Structure 1
Amino acid sequence: MHHVFIEPIPKGLWGPIDGYTLEYSDGDKVTTHVFRSEKLAIDEVKLRGFRPMVAKVRITDKGNHNHWIAI
């Protein structure tokens, strides 16, 4: 089963999180839709048959496994 990363936006430390995007490990977007909550993004990933990876930190690196938790 492929992983899909649930990325908070905007990326970086400035401002509140405005939403979440779904990305593959290479950075390509799964969809252009922005989800208003992490729960909605997780549900969408599971509906598409992927395994969601949720960020544990604000500034993420897909290569660093300490930044992610599998749901």
Structure 2
Amino acid sequence: MSKAVYVEARPKGRPEGTAISEYVVEESGDRVLHTAATQVAAITWSKAQGYTPHVARVRHLNDKRNPAHWRAV
């Protein structure tokens, strides 16, 4: 079984409608493993490394301790 990682948009806490500068792949402890220009690139990298990437169901709901906030891709 693969280890779950989380793909999140940056900057964190950005106001609605502002641009996303990058996407990061993080472990559950918020340690950044990889940075990519697009969400697709971050997901592709995660899968190539043997991880199971998850993305937030709703961008502002991203508590890694709550599985309902995430979906596997």
- TM bin, normalised by shorter chain, reads 0.7 to 0.9
Q: What secondary structure, in the 3-state scheme, does the structure 1 residue paired with 2:64 have?
A: coil
Partners in 2 of 1:9 and 1:3 — Cα distance? 19
Cα-Cα RMSD: 1.2
Q: Percent identity?
A: 35
Partners in 1 of 2:22 and 2:8 — Cα distance? 8
Does residue 61 of structure 2 align to residue 63 of structure 1?
Answer: no
Gaps of 5+ in 1: none
TM-score where L is the length of structure 2: 0.83
- Superposed, 1:27-46 pairs within 5 Å as 27-31=30-34, 34-46=35-47
Partners in 1 of 2:56 and 2:37 — Cα distance? 15
**Structure 1 runs of 4+ off > 4 angstroms?**
none
TM-score where L is the length of structure 1: 0.85
Gaps of 5+ in 2: none
Count of residue correspondences = 69
